[in-house]
Amino acid sequence: MHSPFDVAALLLVLSAILAYLNCRVLKLPLTVGLFAGAFAGTLLLRGINAIDPGLALKHAINQFLASVDFPNTLLNGFLAFLLFAGALQVNFSDMRERKWTILALATFGTILSTGIIAAALSGLSSVLGLGLTIPWCLVFGALISPTDPVSVLDLLKRVGITRHLQAIIAGESLFNDGVGVVLFTLMLSLATAGNTADLSVLHVGGFFLWEAGGGALLGAALGAGVGFVLRGMDDDHVELMISLALASGAYALAGRIGASGPVAVVVAGIFISRQGADLAVSETARKNLMMFWRLIEEVLNALLFLLIGLQIAAIDFSWRSFAAMAAMIPIVLVARWLSVFGSAVPLHLRVQNIFFQSLILTWGGLRGGLSVAMALSLPQTMHKAPILTITYGIVVFSLIVQGLTLAPLARRLVLTRPDLR
């Protein structure tokens, strides 16, 4: 059994090696390069294991991944700090100007996407004989709908996308993680309850409101309180310690009271970002705080995408699941486009470039570690294997194909549509 330190050391070493190779050879965006390197290495090990099963490489990788406990590591570890770091980097004034668009995309858009994907998977399951019931299709729709495009924001900035569109992408990705976790929890309870008669619309609505609304109120209270404590503070070390305590404490406290930890952390981070910019700390202290959290984000993202790549070794493919995966990739993209149009377009009917903005929002809506973690956290039932396979396939396509083609697409749109700048 590996000790936690051994596991962390090995992951950091592998991340550093892959980051160096990517910098020297591949020259891809860091997260895409790390994922591609880990994915390729895992496929190579699986190929060697298939040639000589006596090496038991797949078993060794699975044992190592079991010691990491990826779902718990992400959902109760990485996610709090990644969301807090992302919230600190958003431009509050730009996000405030697009607050209704962000809210619509993160809530109604995520719910709409969940329903469309679930309906499509239900029909596909009947054709292929996957045995996925409607509640389990809703579980899949909920776990695959949250997007994670924060990692491509730097890329979009370099391309020259307008600040308002950057704010929409950042704001949606931060809030729909929390909404997605709440939806996933609710849909999983529906799928595993057996009798759904007691789960009325009022019960479901109350659960959703308490999770999301309670998390937002808690995050606002803690963020405002810590912002007041930091007022006039000019000790970088103390500020960093307090920010770490806020990110971890808000997430943990929200979980204890049954509210949404991701929503609480995002709202708290936005409060700190806003107050830090307006009144709290010196320019040097703000710069050091941002550099610290940017480093935290880069390291955790590196470890996260490395783990996603390694998780491929744990998949046992079946032809039905593989066929469903191939079919669901374009369906998920269409669902994303429809959810963007259905939720955001009514708010921007007079915007001339809404079609091109929706195209960037659709293709830039990458799926990542949160979807994988939620799929891995499913109970051991007959439904888990096909859901895992489909989830992995969509994440691989999203990170590699969409991640590598987003910059050329955005650059072309900026060149042809100057109003996107």
46: enclosing H helix or E strand: helix 30-51
Q: Give the pair of three-digit tokens for residue 10.
A: 């090995």
- Four-way CATH pick for 72-420: 3.20.20.70, 2.40.160.50, 1.20.1530.20, 1.10.357.10: 1.20.1530.20
Query: What is the predicted pLDDT for the residue at 221?
Result: 94
The tokens describing 16, both together, are: 């550093």
Mind listing the pLDDT tens digit for each residue in 273-291? 876 555 445 677 778 888 8
Residue 219 CA from chain centroid, whole number: 19
Residue 30 CA to residue 300 CA, distance in Å, equals 12
Instruction: Tell me how crowded residue 228 is: count the other CB atoms within 10 A of its CB.
Output: 11
Quote the pLDDT of residue 349: 46
User: At residue 352, what are phi and psi to the nearest 5 degrees?
Assistant: -70, -30
- 3-class secondary structure, 119: helix
**Token pair for residue 23?**
């910098």
E strand or H helix at 13, and its extent? helix 4-21
> What is the pLDDT at residue 253?
94
* Residue of 268, 241, 101, 66 whose CA lies nearest to 171: 101
Residue bearing tokens 């849909």:
187
CB 387 within 8 A of CB 375: yes
Q: Where does residue 231 rank: exposed (0-12), middle (13-18), buried (19+ CB within 10 A)?
A: exposed
Q: Are 154 and 138 in contact (CB under 8 A)?
A: no
User: For 130-187, how does the pLDDT look when each residue is reduced to its tens digit (9 = 90+)?
Assistant: 989 999 999 999 999 998 765 566 666 666 677 778 888 888 888 888 899 989 988 9
Q: Is the dihedral of CA 120, 184, 299, 313 positive or negative?
A: negative
Residue 106: which residues within 8 A CB-CB, separation 6 or more? 171, 172, 175, 176, 179
Neighbours of 411 (CB within 10 A): 16
Residue 203 has which token pair? 């019960």
- What pLDDT, on the 0 to 100 scale, is given for residue 266? 92
125 closest CA partner among 379, 368, 390, 337: 390
Taking a C-beta distance cutoff of 8 angstroms, is the pair 186, 209 a contact?
Answer: no
Give residue 114's pLDDT: 95
The dihedrals phi and psi of 21, each to the nearest 5 degrees, come to -65, -40
CB atoms within 10 A of CB 192: 13
The residues of the chain scoring below 50 in pLDDT are: 279-280, 349-350
**217: exposed, middle or buried (C-beta count within 10 Å: 0-12, 13-18, 19+)?**
middle
What ranges do the domains of the chain cover? Answer: 72-420
Q: H-type helices in 198-260, by residue range?
A: 201-230, 236-256
Report d(CA 290, CA 45) in Å as an integer: 39
What pTM, to 2 d.p., does this model score? Answer: 0.86
How far apart, in Å, do the first and last CA atoms of the chain sit?
Answer: 53
Dist CA 410 CA 417 (whole Å): 10
Q: Between the CA atoms of 356, 357, 359 and 360, what dihedral angle is there, to the nearest 10 degrees?
A: 120
Residue with tokens 């709290």: 280
Long-range CB pairs of 106-109, under 8 A, 24+ apart, other chains included: 106/171, 106/172, 106/175, 106/176, 106/179, 107/175, 107/176, 107/179, 107/212, 107/343, 108/342, 108/343, 109/172, 109/176, 109/339, 109/340, 109/342, 109/343, 109/344
- pLDDT at position 38, please? 82
Residue 54, token pair as written in the block: 């006596």
Which residues have C-beta within 8 Å of that of residue 42, sequence separation ≥ 6? Answer: 61, 309, 310, 312, 313
Look up residue 44 and give its amino acid.
L
